[in-house]
Structure 1
């Protein structure tokens, strides 16, 4: 019986061989679900759900709904015990990959190719990007920076003002180039700067209040 831990590493090798340039991200929250694997390929983000021989379909309906909101395409990877009936549980645009245990290795078989997800929402897909990555896109295309606005506001500006194909490319490019150590440091600096600005605003308001109180 193949378990999730037996499938992951061989799966990543299989994906690299099949799709060429890929970046693999694991355990990403999407809506009310957690995506097992997110595969980044040029101009497309693919959600991958793993159902090992030990797994059931209990949460799959909800997972399908969440994946379909966030990813450009989706794949379910299943142990051989699920291969003959998993198609009944996922939409036709989902790809299906079966994995089987051989003597000293595991083999993967394409049961059904993935196709473009007709329900994907770009405003949700772009949520995988962090604030500095959004800022890079704004700067690159000469968009207003809106440093005091929320990430949701900035995402909406990017999606509304840039062509869809450009946004898809920029999302993939950002994820390919993401350096987690450098990015986390950049995010911390951004938060410190924002906190300092908020503190300055509060101090100004307090001074103004005290001045009004003296004048009363």
Structure 2
């Protein structure tokens, strides 16, 4: 276990001796990453994605403000759990064709 960070969860896959089917057991529950920096993660989003987060959370548009200003505002106004969930949604929905 010395190579696995303490906050990582561990799942063990084995074969059920009776059914011979795979069995998954949680050996250790995952914990939040203590080094998680929401503002840094927000900086990975494109401007239009940050604008989506502002809109979804009924915050001002902050036209003309820098990305870092917007990231700071989002991080100060919303809880990390909400932001991380929304950030993940934005990245999954990212449209790479707009920059082809």
Match of 2:74 in 1: 158
Which secondary structure state, in structure 1, belongs to the residue aligned with residue 48 of structure 2? helix
Asked whether 1:94 is paired with 2:8, we answer yes
User: Gaps spanning 5+ residues in structure 1: where?
Assistant: 1-86, 98-108, 186-216
Q: Following TM superposition, by how much is the alpha carbon of 1:91 offset from its aligned partner in structure 2, in angstroms? A: 2.4
Asked whether 1:120 is paired with 2:6, we answer no
Count, aligned residues:
87
Q: Which 4+ residue blocks in structure 1 deviate beyond 6 angstroms?
A: none
Q: Following TM superposition, by how much is the alpha carbon of 1:88 offset from its aligned partner in structure 2, in angstroms? A: 2.3
Q: Following TM superposition, by how much is the alpha carbon of 1:136 offset from its aligned partner in structure 2, in angstroms? A: 1.0
Match of 2:89 in 1: 173
- Return closer, same or farther for 1:166/1:96 CA change in 2, 3 Å cut-off: closer
* More relative contact order, 1 or 2 (CA 8 Å, 6+ apart): 2
User: Gaps spanning 5+ residues in structure 2: where?
Assistant: 12-23
Whichever structure has more strand as a proportion of its residues is 1
State the superposition RMSD in angstroms: 2.6
Whichever structure has more helix as a proportion of its residues is 1
Separation in structure 2 between the aligned mates of residue 165 and residue 151 of structure 1, nearest angstrom: 20
Q: Following TM superposition, by how much is the alpha carbon of 1:127 offset from its aligned partner in structure 2, in angstroms? A: 2.3
TM-score, structure 2 length as denominator? 0.68
Q: Following TM superposition, by how much is the alpha carbon of 1:149 offset from its aligned partner in structure 2, in angstroms? A: 1.5
TM-score, structure 1 length as denominator? 0.35
